[in-house]
Structure 1
């Protein structure tokens, strides 16, 4: 390995400082780096440079998608090059599911990265300026908005990883020339020129055609991504303000929401539906949510399912509910329980966790030594709730309390010898009027919802 940096002209030196060295200085001394290495010329050059810049702080990972007959041999090549540079190397085999092969391969590749990354490591990838420009073109053709056209960032902090792309301002021609100077060895993946894949088609067919007319297209598209990143940051600030005014990650107040302009409504919904995922929903899915759910009649019980979540309107609120919670009642087995409770002990019910505590008005202490019954509501029950006149249908009390329809399966009735003592609900415990009510008794106090 060379003891000094390779020599190249003054422009390159300046570009290298700004795109690599200055960014490297932003990391702490404890930071280590995991390099995604495919064996291609870009990632192999990155491997050589990082081994020079950060000795003993670099590892490499080769993800074997097992889509090419030679993929295992390429892994061996990466391993050999890492051995020469004294860099630890991980070879991770993955299985790519059927469907959009490019998208599925990207998904399992990042899963492999996340699996191997440690808390002190940053993932380093060798995307360059042409990769960025191709991404902008492909996302433009797919109908992406500001966020999509912002494409790749030099540094990204995601939920499960930190990602750095130090070559993003370098052209492929510069990388190839640099790799030739250093005599960097690499492999050639034939799928990179297989126009069956969108990116390869863009690179092999569309790119030469457009570049003939627009010679500076690569720089222009890269600049567009930078401008869109600025616009995206401004848009996020506006959306954050609107979300704070309208609700949170789980519910939106439609009265306030509908006071926003249509453009701000669409952007807020798009980001809200995205949640913690990497990509926003398609434009037509946002439109469906507006037309089929938000614009529906208040009593229509309209809902929309997208990406593991249900979007449900209830009164003047819009809820984002995970499918497991929404369908919990379908997976529920009707079980009637017998239990004994003790003062200050915790009781876990379908609606939440309760603590048995003293109360100004509550149940008799003599019940603490007896077996009580806990049953699911089946419909048609009437209960005389404490403080009300006469028995009411439990269904009416639930509706008046605005308990959401998808939570009503968690309601359980506490009784003894067919005498209703109270009702466990997502709104807390409702004490029933009975011979067991007394001053200075006890009640279950809701600590947390399920």
Structure 2
């Protein structure tokens, strides 16, 4: 059962030095072990203390002891990951985690030192960061996207590699089943911590893990591979839609000119508007909001027609011959 894990790690060739996001759970513990073996002296562990549960202090202590045994430097960040009203707790925690990891990766040679970042002086900036999400996590992400009625961008699930902020971000274990990751770690006699929230079925992802994955395993034993292929196809389609949106926005302008937008088909209008709102204004319209906006654009045949529609965190409005957005 450990061959899939070893094969995935053999394919992993990140730019160094490398940071490994470490929660103390089985998956991130296994990834840290494997990276420390393969890239000695080039690996740093990155731990984010979310402050969302009493056990968080114990997670940090476990990570510190683990890193001392492996002789791996540990950088830690403490963040306030509480979510705002109307925000998803999972999404809020994810945003805080990524920002903290990026700050930790910069080291003290870039970007200054924040008060909530604790690390030894003189640590280098990191070229890459690796996460331990595996094939089961990818399936859960696809099913979660389906449950929310996501489009192709959501169904593309988690990429194995992307670049942002001058850092390469990796998920080297996306083709490895969760059971194989734990088997690899158990074979080395290493323990880990269990996050008690992982079994709380108030969270949709946990219900998927507890109820749907066993059913899929029984009915379709190859479901991890087939879901991964579907996610890959969706990712390819998402790239094409993005390129089309960029070409259309270059032609119709940013902000979009209403007359030029109306000359496109409804589907291309929606694609261009989603891309404009996401990339320029950092907001994503719901299907209902986008549908209402498209209806208003279709009716916008005179100068006197006004548009003011709630979209994401703000409003899309008519400004002269074009569209504007404010929050």
The interval holding the TM-score normalised by the smaller chain is: 0.7 to 0.9
Structure 2 residue corresponding to 1:186, chosen from 182, 192, 207? 192
Is 2:322 the partner of 1:317? yes
Deviation at 1:80, TM superposition (A): 0.6
Show the 5 A alignment for 1:165-204. 165-204=171-210
Higher helix share: 2
TM-score of the superposition, structure 2-length normalised?
Answer: 0.85
State the match for 1:103 in structure 2: 91
Contact 1:293–1:303 (CA under 8 A) maintained in structure 2: no
Deviation at 1:160, TM superposition (A): 7.1
Change beyond 3 A, Cα 1:292–1:199: same
Is 2:29 the partner of 1:44? yes
Is 2:213 the partner of 1:224? no
**Unaligned runs of at least 5 residues, structure 2:** 107-124
Is 2:290 the partner of 1:286? yes
CA distance in 2, matches of 1:74, 1:33: 21
CA distance in 2, matches of 1:183, 1:280: 45
TM-score of the superposition, structure 1-length normalised?
Answer: 0.63
CA distance in 1, matches of 2:37, 2:104: 22
Larger Rg: 1
Higher strand share: 1
State the match for 2:11 in structure 1: 22
1:286-315 deviation digits (Å, cap 9, x = unpaired): 122223456345323422343455422234
Deviation at 1:8, TM superposition (A): 5.7
Deviation at 1:72, TM superposition (A): 0.3
Contact 1:299–1:315 (CA under 8 A) maintained in structure 2: no
State the match for 1:53 in structure 2: 38
Contact 2:277–2:283 (CA under 8 A) maintained in structure 1: no
Q: Which moved more, 1:91-100 or 1:36-45?
A: 91-100
Deviation at 1:112, TM superposition (A): 1.5
Q: Which moved more, 1:267-276 or 1:93-102?
A: 93-102
**Larger RCO (alpha carbons 8 Å, 6+ apart):** 2
Contact 2:9–2:34 (CA under 8 A) maintained in structure 1: no
Aligned alpha-carbon RMSD (Å): 2.4
Change beyond 3 A, Cα 1:23–1:244: farther
State the match for 1:328 in structure 2: none
Contact 1:294–1:318 (CA under 8 A) maintained in structure 2: no
CA distance in 2, matches of 1:310, 1:67: 32
Deviation at 1:59, TM superposition (A): 1.3
